[in-house]
């Protein structure tokens, strides 16, 4: 494609500036590189918008695909174009309808790619339909040909490792051992492929664990750990060293834990990886948190907030000052909720500041800071400094101690919105927990706006879920909880109640679930609650006031979502057993 025509169109649509237009044109001429390659390799223009512009120039329709659509492409369609052709010409099969083969092309102007596709279509008696697709979508379809296991097997084979080895503490070693030289490329490929597979699988964590005779790799997907693959134990040290190098950790330090992080681009997305090493007798275990902003940064409607609970949250953050506290156990999605609220409050005329441990997602416009307790910079000392920075909104990652709690309460009393988390079993426990931290009860009514508690449950797959009549025991539980719903709550479900289950399909990889959603309960500060706090703030009295307000409990919220077919009933019972 002509560089100038492409750049002129991007400039016309305000996707690049005049200065960038001249810079890219000059660089393309000097280096004899296509302007398209320069733009996409540096992520100068959003990939989808770039393809839309290219589509207009070439007059070829473009198509973007969701990851679940790619996973749902039938095997016979994938097999309609050989892997070698897909790799060589950057083409991918999309659909096969009767005698029409629909393909995606990254470079439809490539004459050799056109000829290859025409030859394949003619040989199989098919007509061709062509769409322009993004390189990211092409790469995801390409992985259907070379799955993770195959890539790892090829990399291990190239290293020529003999099976049967054991971890160093469990095997004898020669006192005089000849130096070993190993190729770095296969190790780099193994680490890169593992990170790509984790992103594609939607994993939140990757665990690389040395065992006696192997290295086990496990992913945490939708809250559950599952073993993905294993490597020969001889690869443990090279793999850990490679991860340490890209995370800026000390390779020679193996007896104490280390923390690091790295960022890379996978499938067109900026992904952060937070790395933690942990010494074991066999060798270092590595845990990697996958921070995918397209997964971790959600709008308030995507969290699972519905009805009156959603209204209370929106009203609370509209107030000019006060605290919003989100409670729940570790891994219940509290930070995700805080990020969602912070994005709503993040405006040009608002100074939003955060103290986090660690900073998980970088948000444009928010002044984020990571605490470092090892040098004395903790939540308490950080809060003292933040209040001198003229903040409007303060996010404190977690209230862990009396000092942080006192500073957060006083910040809320002096005109800031304070968002934070607390470890309690339910929303009712927030007030007693703060009093346990020696916060004077009379301060809480003025400081607190909203108390929230949440749990994460797996979301049922929309494609394969279906209704089933609940068992008599489940019918009884549902009836009891619906009966206790606050007055005025609309109940459109009648016995016999139906719940939903996922049967398993290509989209959900036969699991019946895709992703997770939160269950919520929340209540606000009222004059009646102030009276309870100032007299005898027991959990039972606070609960009575929350019910008077019309609070829907975690279990009731879960049952309503189960009846809607959003989540599985068994997951709701398990996650709300102690709420």
Give the pLDDT score at 163.
55
Structure tokens at 554: 């975690």
Q: What pLDDT digit, counting tens, does each position of 176-231 carry?
A: 444 444 457 888 888 999 999 998 888 999 999 999 989 999 999 888 899 999 98
pTM over cut 0.85: no
Residue 37 belongs to a domain: yes
Inter-residue contact 249 to 258 (CB < 8 Å):
yes
pLDDT in tens, 333-354: 899 999 999 999 999 999 999 9
Torsion sign over Cα 416, 420, 426, 429: negative
Sign of CA dihedral 468, 473, 476, 477: negative
Are residues 261 and 152 part of one domain?
yes
Residue at token pair 């609970």: 309
Identify whether residues 542 and 439 lie together within a single domain: yes
The per-residue pLDDT for 244 is 94
Q: Indicate the range of 161-165, 287-291, 364-368, 428-432 predicted with least confidence.
A: 161-165
Q: Of the given ranges (270-274, 310-314, 506-510), which has the lowest mean pLDDT? A: 506-510
SS3 assignment for 255-318: CCCEEEEEEEEECCEEEEEEEEEEECCCCEEEEEEEECHHHHCCCHHHCCCCHHHHHHHHHHHH
pLDDT at residue 353 in the model: 96
pLDDT at 176: 45
Is residue 519, in this structure, part of any structural domain at all?
A: yes
Place 37 in a pLDDT band, splitting at 50, 70 and 90: confident
Beta bridge partners of 417: 322, 393
Tell me what percent of the residues of the chain surpass a pLDDT of 90: 56
* Residue 102 neighbours by CB under 8 Å, 6+ apart: 93, 94, 95, 96, 129, 130, 131
Q: How does DSSP classify residue 471?
A: P
168 within domain boundaries: no
Quote the CA–CA distance of 16 and 42 in Å, as a whole number: 13
Number of domains present in the structure of the chain:
3
Residue ending a domain, choose from 243, 273, 291: 291
Band of the pLDDT at 175, cuts 50, 70, 90? very low
In a domain, 173, yes or no: no
What is the tens place of the pLDDT at every residue in 497-534?
A: 999 999 988 778 788 998 899 999 999 999 999 999 99
Distance CA 228, CA 75 (A): 22
- CB neighbours of residue 274 within 10 Å: 18
Considering the domain boundaries, does residue 138 fall inside one? Answer: no
Query: Which comes out higher in pLDDT, residue 389 or 579?
Result: 389
User: Is the domain of 114 the same as that of 227?
Assistant: no
Shared domain check, 308 and 285: no
Q: Are 421 and 395 in contact (CB under 8 A)?
A: no
| In the predicted structure, residue 579 carries a pLDDT above the cut 70 | no
For the chain, how long is the longest CA-to-CA vector? 85
pLDDT band with cut points at 50, 70 and 90 for residue 240: very high
The enclosing domain of 47 has a CATH number of 3.30.300.160
Residues 6+ apart with CB under 8 A from 167: 210, 211, 212, 213, 233, 236, 282, 283
Q: Does some domain include residue 101? A: yes
Shared domain check, 281 and 308? no
Task: Residue 561: give its domain's CATH number.
Answer: 3.40.50.300
Residue 177 belongs to some domain of the structure: no
Structural domain harbouring 12 = 3-66+76-133
* Domain end among 253, 269, 291: 291
Q: Is there a single domain that holds both residue 191 and residue 118?
A: no
3-state secondary structure of 553: coil
What tens digit of pLDDT does each residue of 468-484 get? 999 999 999 999 999 88
CATH number, position 260: 3.30.450.90
Q: Residue 58: pLDDT above 70?
A: yes
DSSP state of 492: -
Shared-domain flag, residues 358 and 498: yes
Residues 327 and 206 both lie in one domain:
no
From 291, 321, 339, give the residue that closes a domain. Answer: 291
Q: Are residues 268 and 337 in the same domain?
A: no
Q: Please report the DSSP string for 134-163 in residue order.
A: -HHHHHHHHTTTS-HHHHHHHHHHHHTPPS
Arithmetic mean of pLDDT over the chain: 88
Alpha carbon 67 to its chain centroid, in Å, reads 14
| For range 263-270, the mean pLDDT | 82
- Check pLDDT > 50 for residue 494: yes
Contacts of 226 (CB under 8 A, 6+ apart): 218, 219, 220
Q: What is the pLDDT of residue 177?
A: 43
Q: In what order do the strands lie in the sheet with 393-396?
A: 367-370, 352-356, 393-396, 417-422, 322-327, 448-460, 513-524
Measure the CA–CA gap between 70 and 392, rounded to whole angstroms.
44
Same domain, 373 and 432: yes
pLDDT of residue 292: 86
Q: Is residue 176 part of a domain?
A: no
Answer yes or no: is pLDDT of 549 > 50. Answer: yes
Q: Is the pLDDT of residue 104 over 80?
A: yes
Whether residues 315 and 266 share a domain: the answer is no
Mean per-residue pLDDT for 82-105?
90
On whether both 437 and 353 belong to a single domain, the answer is yes
């Amino acid at each position: 494609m002509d560089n100038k025509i492409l750049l002129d169109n991007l400039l016309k649509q305000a996707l690049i500036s005049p200065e960038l237009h001249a810079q890219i044109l000059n660089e393309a001429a000097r280096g004899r590189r296509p302007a398209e390659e320069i733009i996409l390799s540096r992520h100068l223009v959003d990939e989808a918008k770039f393809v839309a512009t290219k589509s207009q120039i070439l007059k070829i329709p473009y198509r973007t695909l969701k990851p679940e659509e790619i996973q749902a492409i039938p095997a016979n369609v994938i097999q309609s174009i050989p892997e070698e052709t897909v790799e060589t010409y950057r083409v991918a099969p999309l659909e096969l309808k009767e005698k029409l083969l629909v393909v995606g092309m990254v470079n439809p102007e490539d004459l050799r790619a056109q000829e290859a596709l025409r030859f394949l279509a003619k040989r199989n008696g098919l007509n061709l339909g062509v769409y322009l697709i993004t390189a990211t979508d092409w790469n995801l379809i390409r992985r259907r040909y070379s799955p993770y296991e195959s890539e790892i097997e090829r990399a291990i084979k190239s290293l020529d490792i003999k099976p049967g080895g054991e971890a160093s503490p469990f095997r004898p070693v020669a006192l005089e051992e000849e130096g070993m030289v190993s190729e770095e490329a296969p190790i780099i490929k193994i680490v890169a492929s593992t990170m790509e597979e984790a992103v594609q699988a939607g994993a939140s964590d990757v665990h690389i664990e040395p065992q006696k005779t192997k290295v086990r790799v496990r992913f945490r997907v939708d809250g559950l750990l599952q073993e993905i693959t294993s490597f020969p134990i001889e690869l443990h040290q090279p793999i850990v060293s490679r991860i340490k190098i890209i995370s800026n950790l000390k390779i020679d330090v193996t007896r104490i834990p280390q923390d690091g992080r790295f960022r890379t681009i996978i499938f067109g997305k900026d992904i952060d990886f937070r790395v933690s090493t942990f010494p074991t007798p066999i060798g270092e275990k590595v845990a990697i948190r996958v921070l995918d902003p397209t997964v971790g940064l959600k709008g308030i409607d995507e969290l699972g907030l519905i009805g009156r609970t959603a209204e209370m949250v929106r009203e609370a953050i509209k107030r000019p000052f006060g605290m919003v506290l989100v409670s729940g156990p570790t891994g219940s999605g509290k930070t995700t909720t805080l990020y969602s609220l912070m994005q709503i409050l993040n405006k040009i005329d608002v100074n939003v500041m955060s103290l986090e441990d660690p900073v998980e997602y970088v948000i444009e416009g928010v002044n984020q800071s990571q605490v470092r307790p090892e040098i004395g910079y903790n939540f308490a000392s950080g809060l003292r400094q933040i209040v001198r920075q003229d903040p409007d909104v303060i996010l404190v990652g977690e209230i862990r101690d009396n000092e942080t709690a006192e500073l957060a309460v006083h910040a809320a009393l002096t005109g800031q919105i304070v968002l934070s988390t607390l470890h309690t079993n339910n929303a009712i426990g927030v007030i007693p927990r703060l009093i346990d931290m020696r916060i004077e009860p009379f301060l809480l009514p003025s400081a607190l706006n909203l108390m929230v508690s949440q749990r994460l449950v797996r979301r049922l797959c929309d494609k394969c879920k279906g209704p089933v009549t609940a068992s008599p025991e489940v019918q009884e539980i549902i009836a009891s909880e619906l009966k206790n719903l606050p007055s005025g709550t609309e109940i459109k479900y009648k016995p016999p109640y139906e719940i939903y289950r996922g049967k398993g399909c290509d989209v959900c990889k036969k699991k019946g679930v895709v992703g997770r959603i939160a269950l919520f309960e929340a209540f606000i500060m009222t004059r009646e609650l102030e009276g309870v706090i100032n007299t005898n703030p027991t959990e039972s009295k606070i609960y009575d006031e929350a019910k008077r307000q019309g609070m829907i409990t975690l279990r009731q919220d879960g049952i309503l979502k189960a009846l809607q077919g959003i989540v599985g009933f068994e997951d709701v019972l398990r996650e709300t057993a102690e709420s």
